[in-house]
Each structure stands twice: as structure tokens, then as C-alpha cells.
């Protein structure tokens, strides 16, 4: 008799600020769930082949800034003491800004730049607290910035006096971008390049939604989140294309994009002119985490089992993005088993349970086509705030077509039941229920790092040019 496949599924949680700053692996919560799957049911178990992490993050940042993949080095960009804005990501992203900023500040100080600003790309997320700032930016960097006269700003999307109106994008989005960005000679972003439902993270996404006003964020998210052309791998999709156009309108000069492995360690950084450098970063990401889709040869799976790894944080709202990737390997009517402890988080802005913000889908539950239609009407009537809806609405879309079972901590079960999400504390129990649902011949795919992983068949890096009505007349 053939031995079953013993799947090891990561079941992890960690504050992104911790993973972005710690050198102590003991502070990183690691746990795995194990599951035996009969070999006759296993369609694919897809584990990435990750390269080793760099030994020194700050040294890697210095190398990247000096060796651009396109355009000028940071030193060359700052020649003559040109002014600069540095945009970093928010407290829910594990980018190790505190370890990268020393390299950036070195170049600013060396160039004798007298006008520089650092701004956090919060988008519509609540501001970083003082303790968040200390972790994200680092005490030594904060002291150095104060000595150099470099202010630290945060995005404040409802304060329209802080934004410059730059016009309307080719897709109809009004572009309001923070004045600290558009009023400087050089603008660089520091963020994490990764695949996600909205195309990819990093690059121009630090500009939009990072440092844009509410109206810009909501217009982009409402118009493009639910488009079938917005999906994992779609750099050329309407949402990410609109984002990069706004970044270009804002004068984004260059991007420093960080690739983090599934343990939150830096694999590589790429720096260079926008948008070329970001594209090089995601091409490298795809080399590591994009996979040959077993669906192409064997048809879709009946069941996908997805894991959650430490850099993706304490809330299912953030860990659950991989549902939209698993969507492309599981048939409609199939089951996605998503393992996410989601212990919740306490912040100075309040306490957030593990399923915080997922309750926003409650008015449309249980998942149905009728509920989906009502949700779309409410999105376009601006009755749904899409800074949050851009996450839960695509998950709801998947739930309309597939059965989602959440494997999580016991403390989340009551809230899951209240929302209408099928949840359990037992992976074995979830798998047994799925096998009963789909029968003894059910095909199973394992995506242990689902939020990073994407089928190669989804990758679309080159956009088709837009055709405007007036062009048809020529």
C-alpha cells in the first residue's frame, strides 16, 4: 500500500513591525500543521525553492542604491543637493525600513541635500503610533533625521489641503497626491515587491494608495478591484496600470523594491528608475514563487489547502489574500481550506480581533449571486469603503463560487459563525469534511504559501494600449 503524502502546512502569525526589525529568530512565532493525504488524491504540492537570505540588509540596500537596474544611482540622482522625498510603507507591511534607511540617509547626507522628507504611505490606514514609528523607522534613524532636519510625515487622506491635484488618469481617476511628493526634485519609494490580487505590491503602489487623497484611493479601488482583469500576476491589469500612471504623474523617480522570503528575510533588493526597476523586481519574484499550473494538464482541483506564513500578520484580512490565488487552481464548486491562526492585534488605535473587517461582508451573506450583485451596486454607489472592500469583496467573490473553510484559533469561531464563514480549529476535520463533500476521488492541491504563490498562466506584464474614441476617427 502506498504511503500517504505528509503535508506540512505553515500556520504562523507575527506582527509585521516585529518581523521587519528583529534579528532574533526566537521572536518569530512558527508553527506547522500536518496532514496525511492519500497519494491517489494528491494533484500537486507546490513548495517554492527559495534562495538564501542576504546576510546584511543594510549592506544589500547600499549595493542596490549604487547599482541600479535602470537609470541613475541614488548618489547621481541627488547630485547638486537636489531635494528628495522618500516614501516608506505602513505598519502592516514587513519591509525592514529601519534597516534600509541608513543607506538612504547616507546618500542624502553625502549629497548635502538641504530639503528632504520621509513620508509613510498609509493610504487610508490609521496613522502609525509613536511606538510603531520607532519600530518602523528605527530610533537611530529618527535621531539622525532630526539632526539633518528631515521631517517624518504620514498620509492624511481627508486633509485635502495636503494634496496637489494632478489631473485625471486615462482610466478616469482624479489624481490627488501629497504635496511633499510632487514638490521635490527626486521621489523614491521603499516597499515590498510581491504578487497579490491587485497585480503586485511595491513600486508605484507606495504612491497610490500610499500618499494619495481619499477620493483618488476610492475611485481607483471602486472602479477596478472587481474587474476580471484585476488578478494575481496582472501588472498590466486596469488597477495596477492606473496606479502606475498616477505614480508617473506624481513624478516618481525611482523605486527600491525588497523581496522577502516566507520567513520574512530579505532575499534581494532592486533599485532603479520607475517603472522599470519594479518590473525587474517582480520578474525576480515570479522566478521564485510562480508555479506551473497543474490545471493546464490535469484540470482544476476539487480541494486546495493553503498555509499562512509569518510575514503576513495577525489578521485574516491580511493573511487571506491567497484565496484569490487558490481560486485559479480550484474548480467552481470546490473547496479552499485556508489555515490562518489570526490571533488579532492590539494597537493604540484599538483592539482588532482576528476576523476584524471581514464582518463588513455580513450584509451580503451567505455568499450568493444575488448578494454579489447587491455588493457591486453598493460599491459603485460609494456605500462601501473600498480601502477595506478591496480585500473582503474579492474574497467574497471567491466564496460565491467556492466553499471556504477557515482553520483558525478557537477564539475566532464565534465571530466567524456570526459573519457566516465556515470555520474550525482542526485541519483534519476540515479535510475530512471536504472529502465527504467531493468524494473519494477528489483531487487536492497544496499551496503552503498561497499569498505569495501564483500560477504562471496568470502573469500579464505588458498592457495593451488603450484606444480612445477620437482615435477611431483618424
Q: How many CB atoms lie within 10 A of CB 15?
A: 21
Pairwise CA distance, residues 145 & 162, whole Å? 21
Q: What is the pLDDT of residue 405?
A: 99
Going from N- to C-terminal start, the domains of the chain cover 5-46+294-458, 57-286
Residue 313 confidence class, pLDDT cut points 50, 70, 90: confident
Q: Name the nearest CA neighbour of 310 among 206, 202, 448, 126.
A: 448
What backbone torsions phi and psi does residue 335 show, to the nearest 5 degrees? -125, 135
pLDDT tens for residues 156-169?
999 999 999 999 99
pLDDT value, residue 271: 99
Task: Report which DSSP code applies to 465.
Answer: P
Mean pLDDT of the chain: 95
Give the bridge partners for 10, in sequence order. 32
The closest of 201, 13, 238, 253 to 95, measured between CA atoms, is 201
pLDDT, tens only, 268-285: 999 999 999 999 999 999
312: pLDDT strictly greater than 90 = no
Backbone angles phi, psi at 198, to 5 degrees: -85, 10
- The reported pLDDT for the residue numbered 145 is 98
**The model's pTM:** 0.95
Was domain 5-46+294-458 assigned CATH 3.90.226.30? yes
Q: For residue range 243-274, what is the model confidence (pLDDT) as tens digits?
A: 999 999 999 999 999 999 998 999 999 999 99
Of residues 124 and 31, the one with the higher pLDDT is 124
- What gap in Å lies between CA 293 and CA 272, rounded to an integer? 31
Q: How many CB atoms lie within 10 A of CB 297?
A: 9
Judged against a pLDDT cut of 60, whether residue 136 lies above it is answered with: yes
User: Measured between alpha carbons, how far is 365 from 371 in angstroms, rounded to an integer?
Assistant: 7
**Local confidence band at 314 (pLDDT 50, 70, 90 cut-offs):** confident
5-46+294-458 and 57-286 share one fold: no
Instruction: Please choose, from the candidates 215, 218, 230, 222, the residue with its C-alpha nearest in 3D space to the C-alpha of residue 166.
Output: 215
Tell me which CATH code domain 57-286 carries: 3.40.50.11440
Q: Residue 198: name the closest of 152, 237, 157, 252 by CA.
A: 237
Question: CB–CB of 335/391 below 8 Å?
Answer: no
Q: Does the structure show a pLDDT above 90 at 178?
A: yes
Task: Give the three-class secondary structure for 31.
Answer: coil
Q: At what angle do helices 214-224 and 386-401 cross, to 10 degrees?
A: 10
Asked if residue 18 has pLDDT above 90, the reply is no
pLDDT in tens, 384-410: 999 999 999 999 999 999 999 999 999
pLDDT digits (tens, 9 = 90+) for 79-106: 999 999 999 999 989 999 999 999 999 9
Summarize pLDDT for 326-339 with one digit per residue, the tens: 999 999 999 999 99
Question: What are the pLDDT digits (tens) for 346-379?
Answer: 877 788 999 999 999 999 999 999 999 999 999 9
**pLDDT tens profile 199-208:** 999 999 999 9
In tens, the pLDDT along 408-442 reads 999 999 999 999 999 999 999 999 999 999 999 99
Q: What share of the chain in percent tops pLDDT 70?
A: 94
For residue 474, the model assigns a pLDDT of 45
**C-alpha cell of 224?**
477596478
> What local confidence, expressed as pLDDT, does residue 428 receive?
98
**Which of 341, 314, 317, 364 has its CA nearest to residue 424?**
341
Residue 173 is predicted with a pLDDT of 98
Q: What per-residue confidence (pLDDT) applies to 309?
A: 86
Beta bridge partners of 440: none
Q: What is the pLDDT of residue 466?
A: 57
Amino acid at each position: 500500500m502506498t504511503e500517504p503524502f505528509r503535508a506540512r502546512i505553515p500556520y504562523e502569525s507575527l506582527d509585521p513591525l516585529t518581523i521587519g526589525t528583529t534579528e532574533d529568530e526566537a521572536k518569530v512565532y512558527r508553527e506547522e500543521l500536518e496532514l496525511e493525504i492519500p497519494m491517489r488524491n494528491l494533484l500537486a504540492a507546490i513548495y517554492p525553492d527559495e534562495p538564501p537570505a542576504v546576510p546584511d540588509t543594510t549592506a544589500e540596500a547600499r549595493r542596490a542604491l549604487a547599482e541600479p537596474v535602470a537609470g541613475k544611482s541614488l548618489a547621481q540622482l541627488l547630485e547638486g543637493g537636489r531635494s528628495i522625498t522618500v516614501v516608506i510603507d505602513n505598519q502592516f507591511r514587513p519591509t525592514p525600513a529601519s534597516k534600509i534607511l541608513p543607506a538612504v540617509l547616507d546618500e542624502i547626507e553625502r549629497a548635502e541635500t538641504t530639503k528632504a522628507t520621509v513620508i509613510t504611505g498609509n493610504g487610508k490606514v490609521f496613522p502609525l503610533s509613536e511606538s510603531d514609528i520607532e519600530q518602523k523607522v528605527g530610533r537611530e534613524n529618527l535621531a539622525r533625521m532630526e539632526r539633518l532636519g528631515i521631517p517624518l510625515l504620514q498620509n492624511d487622506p481627508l486633509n485635502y489641503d495636503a494634496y496637489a491635484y494632478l489631473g485625471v488618469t486615462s482610466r478616469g481617476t482624479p489624481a490627488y497626491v501629497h504635496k511633499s511628493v510632487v514638490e521635490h526634485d527626486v521621489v523614491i519609494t521603499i516597499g515590498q515587491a510581491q504578487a497579490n490580487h491587485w497585480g503586485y505590491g511595491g513600486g508605484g503602489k507606495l504612491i497610490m494608495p500610499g500618499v494619495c487623497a481619499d477620493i483618488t484611493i476610492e475611485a481607483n479601488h471602486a472602479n477596478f478591484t472587481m474587474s476580471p482583469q484585476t488578478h494575481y500576476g496582472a501588472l498590466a491589469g486596469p488597477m495596477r496600470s492606473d496606479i502606475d500612471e498616477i505614480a508617473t504623474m506624481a513624478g516618481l523617480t525611482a523605486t527600491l523594491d525588497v523581496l522577502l522570503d516566507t520567513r520574512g528575510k530579505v532575499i534581494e533588493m532592486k533599485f532603479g528608475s520607475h517603472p522599470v526597476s519594479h518590473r525587474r523586481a517582480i520578474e525576480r519574484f515570479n522566478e521564485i514563487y510562480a508555479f506551473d499550473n497543474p490545471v493546464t494538464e490535469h484540470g482544476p482541483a476539487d480541494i486546495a489547502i493553503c498555509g499562512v506564513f509569518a510575514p503576513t500578520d495577525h489578521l485574516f484580512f491580511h493573511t487571506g489574500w491567497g484565496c484569490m490565488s487558490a481560486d485559479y487552481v480550484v474548480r467552481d464548486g470546490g473547496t479552499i481550506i485556508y489555515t490562518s491562526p489570526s490571533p488579532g492585534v492590539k494597537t493604540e488605535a484599538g483592539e482588532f480581533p482576528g476576523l476584524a473587517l471581514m464582518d463588513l461582508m455580513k450584509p451580503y451573506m451567505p455568499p450568493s449571486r444575488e448578494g454579489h450583485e447587491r455588493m457591486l451596486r453598493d460599491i459603485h454607489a460609494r456605500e462601501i469603503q473600498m480601502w477595506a472592500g478591496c480585500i473582503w469583496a474579492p474574497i467574497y467573490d471567491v466564496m460565491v463560487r467556492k466553499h471556504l473553510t477557515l482553520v483558525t484559533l478557537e477564539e475566532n469561531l464565534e465571530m466567524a459563525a456570526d459573519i457566516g464563514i465556515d470555520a474550525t480549529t482542526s485541519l483534519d476535520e476540515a479535510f475530512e469534511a471536504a472529502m465527504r463533500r467531493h468524494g473519494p476521488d477528489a483531487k487536492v492541491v497544496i499551496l503552503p504559501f498561497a499569498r505569495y504563490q501564483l500560477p504562471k498562466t496568470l502573469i500579464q506584464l505588458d498592457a495593451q494600449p488603450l484606444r480612445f474614441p477620437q482615435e477611431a476617427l483618424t
